[in-house]
Structure 1
Amino acid sequence: IADELENKRLYRFADQLRGAGMSMSNNTRPVK
């Protein structure tokens, strides 16, 4: 169970990182 929780947190963290990177590289147009 702890493993699954860790996976979810890692996944969300990676998703936020990817979103931040995309908005940084594409800040001329909105990313949705």
Structure 2
Amino acid sequence: MYRDLVFLLYVSFDLTKCIGLYLFKVIWYLPM
């Protein structure tokens, strides 16, 4: 149970990191 929760938290954190990086790239390349 606890391990599953930690795994879920880690996966969601990784997902938000990927989405944040993608948004940062889009915002960075949009003005150019």
User: 5+ residue gaps in structure 2?
Assistant: none
User: 5+ residue gaps in structure 1?
Assistant: none
Moved segments of 4+, more than 3 Å: none
Identity of aligned residues (%): 15
Query: Which structure dedicates a bigger proportion of its chain to helix?
Result: 2
Q: How many residues align?
A: 27
Q: CA RMSD in A?
A: 0.8
User: Which has the greater radius of gyration?
Assistant: 2
TM-score for both structures, normalised by structure 2: 0.74
TM-score for both structures, normalised by structure 1: 0.74
Q: Which has the higher contact order (CA 8 A, sep 6+)?
A: 1
